[in-house]
Amino acid sequence: MSIITKTGDAGRTKLMYGAGVSKTDARIEACGAIDEYNAFLGLARAFCDDAELGDIIENLQRETFIIGAELATPDDKLEKLKERVSPQMTAALEMRAEEIEKLPNLLDDWSLPGATQFGAALDVARVVSRRAERCIVRLREAGEVPNDEVLRYMNRLSDVLWLLGRRYEIERRVDSRLRTEQA
């Protein structure tokens, strides 16, 4: 078996369990955005010097494969998946957000991306996750994402990524607040 299948030469690819589609199919767009998001999470993890945060990011990466598999599987084959996006996954994100939001002054101002490499990489992952969410919304509106939890999870995700970046900066006493001047 080779990774080079040559089927993509004609602009086609396969979903999980063999269904062939155009590489411009909305499902492939969503899967590509999820893959890109995961790659940026990997970049963030590579910049991370905090073991706990690194573990959190690695767990989010593992959950990305669950999302990607669900998106890449035709609706009539979803029962074949070992794992699907669950309410427990979404609840874990919500608990993480609530925990970080307890930090003093966290939500006082906007943040300017780029104060740290880790925070900046998380910000890129965050905006890519938002694009992936928009792709999933389009699929959902077309009736192609039967599991509502996928969209709920993605909606929480960008908030958690922003909060993780700000937590990291606050713990290191890095001020990334925008601080707009009043005239």
Q: Averaged over 52-80, what is the pLDDT? A: 94
**In sequence order, what are the residues at sequence separation of 6 or more whose Cβ sits closer than 8 angstroms to the Cβ of residue 10?**
none
Is 183 contained in some domain? Answer: no
For residue range 124-167, list pLDDT tens digits in order: 999 999 999 999 999 999 998 889 999 999 999 999 999 999 88
Domain containing residue 94: 19-171
DSSP-based three-state secondary structure for 12: strand
**Which pLDDT belongs to residue 20?**
86
Is 97 contained in some domain? Answer: yes
pLDDT at 71 over 70: yes
Is 6 contained in some domain? Answer: no
Phi then psi for residue 177, to 5 deg, are -65, 145
Residues in the chain: 183
Which CATH number belongs to the domain containing residue 153 in this structure? 1.20.1200.10
**Which pLDDT belongs to residue 109?**
62
Is 43 contained in some domain? Answer: yes
Which of the 8 DSSP states describes residue 83?
A: -
Q: How many CB atoms lie within 10 A of CB 179?
A: 10
Which of the 8 DSSP states describes residue 182?
A: P
